[in-house]
Amino acid sequence: MNGSGLNGSGAKGIGGFEPDELVLRNLLHQAVSEIEPRDGTLEHLRRAVPARRTRKRQAVVGMAAAALFIGTAIPALVHVSNSTGSDVNPSIMGNGSHKPETEGQSKGQTGGNGSPGGSSGGSKGSDKNKDKHKGDTGKGQSTGSTGGTQATPTAAPSTLCTADQLGGGGSVGAPDSGGAVYGSFRVSNISGTSCTVTGAGAVSATPQGAADGSKITVATHVAGDAAAGLPDPALSLTQLVLAPGAAYEVRFAWVPSEPCQTTGGTTGGGTGGTDPSADPTPTGEATPGTTTDGSNSVSTQLVTEDGVVDGSVLVSHTAEGGVAGFSTAITNACAGVVYRTGLLAAT
């Protein structure tokens, strides 16, 4: 299309556009003339534009901070990599301060160039560190030792148990299928203050009636012996602190080696072993007795109701140091072994 024919001359149309450009412009205006923005568009633009500018500023600031950090860290890293010796502090990148001891040692070792002054400074720093370490170690060991003493049930205080602080007695059970009789001595702290028992004490056996003293022995219980019902020997203690009301035990077992005689006469080994009475009166078995002074509490019996010669064994326990004694009797016992345990904490 030639614009030279417009208005009879070669001049351009309205607004300096070619005629075909004007036609296209009008078409575009008509196409968008009915389009309107949604409600709230202007408000959205008012919020979005400042937010976008803020994000751009934050990005610029973050990049500047990263560049500054890199520029500071690289020289410090190079310095650490080139340093040698035991006084190198790897935390120099993250911490700009040092402990006084480290500074003193570092100055003494590196600042004196081998001079006496430099050596003296390093020595003083080392001595301070060593003394401090020794002091901390001593405190730790002392605390650990004290805690162990309080938790150990066998730790001994300064006072030992006396006769006035101990009370208790012995007891026996019925014979088992093999004829063995198990019993125990339970000794309690009856005072208001704690005391210490430093050993298992002594256990003795005294023949009574027709019991034969030459055939009665006392042995310490060991694993695998005839007294299988006694506690494991490993449970025995060397000493035990008794708080007020607390108790310890010494257990024992009577294992007979032969029964009492079933005819008149005695075996001749018991205390008070006399000839049978001409008029034997049935007396029955002796009742187990308990005393606190270790004295003989079982009267001599000769012949029981079923014709068995009466014999018994008085088992006694003396607390460590001989401060107290307790006894109990095993009836129908003439010959055998008394197995005893060590010091046991009572349950």
Q: What is the pLDDT of residues 111-144, one digit of tens each?
A: 444 444 444 444 454 555 555 555 454 444 444 4
Q: How confident is the model at residue 14 (pLDDT cuts 50, 70, 90)?
A: low
β-pairing, 216-220 vs 335-340, is parallel
Average pLDDT, the chain: 73
pLDDT greater at residue 96 or residue 238: 238
Distance CA 302, CA 215 (A): 18
pLDDT on residue 116: 44
Residue type, 271: T
Assess whether pLDDT exceeds 90 at residue 340: yes
Q: What percent of the chain has pLDDT over 90?
A: 40
pLDDT on residue 40: 81
β-pairing, 216-220 vs 290-291, is unpaired
Q: Tell me the pLDDT tens digit for each residue of 265-296.
A: 444 444 444 444 434 444 434 334 443 344 33
Dig out the tokens for 112 from the structure: 């004196």
Consecutive H or E run containing 254: strand 247-258
pLDDT on residue 12: 58
Consecutive H or E run containing 256: strand 247-258
pLDDT greater at residue 262 or residue 73: 73
The mean pLDDT value for 12-23 works out to 78
Dihedral over alpha carbons 133, 137, 138, 140 (to 10 degrees)? 140
pLDDT greater at residue 306 or residue 150: 306
**Counting Cβ atoms within 10 Å, is residue 17 exposed (0-12), middle (13-18) or buried (19+)?**
middle
The mean pLDDT value for 231-260 works out to 94
Rg from Cα positions in the chain: 52
pLDDT on residue 131: 53
pLDDT greater at residue 98 or residue 32: 32
User: Distances in Å between the alpha carbon of 241 and those of 152, 175, 227?
Assistant: 9, 33, 28
pLDDT greater at residue 210 or residue 80: 210
Q: What are phi and psi of 44, to 5 degrees?
A: -60, -45
Q: Tell me the pLDDT tens digit for each residue of 72-99.
A: 888 877 877 776 555 555 454 444 444 4
Distance CA 343, CA 238 (A): 7
First to last CA, the chain: 122
pLDDT greater at residue 184 or residue 46: 184
Q: How confident is the model at residue 149 (pLDDT cuts 50, 70, 90)?
A: very low
Helices 100-110 and 116-151: crossing angle in degrees, nearest 10, is: 150
Residue type, 140: G
Tokens 């049930």 identify what position? 153
Distance CA 274, CA 259 (A): 19
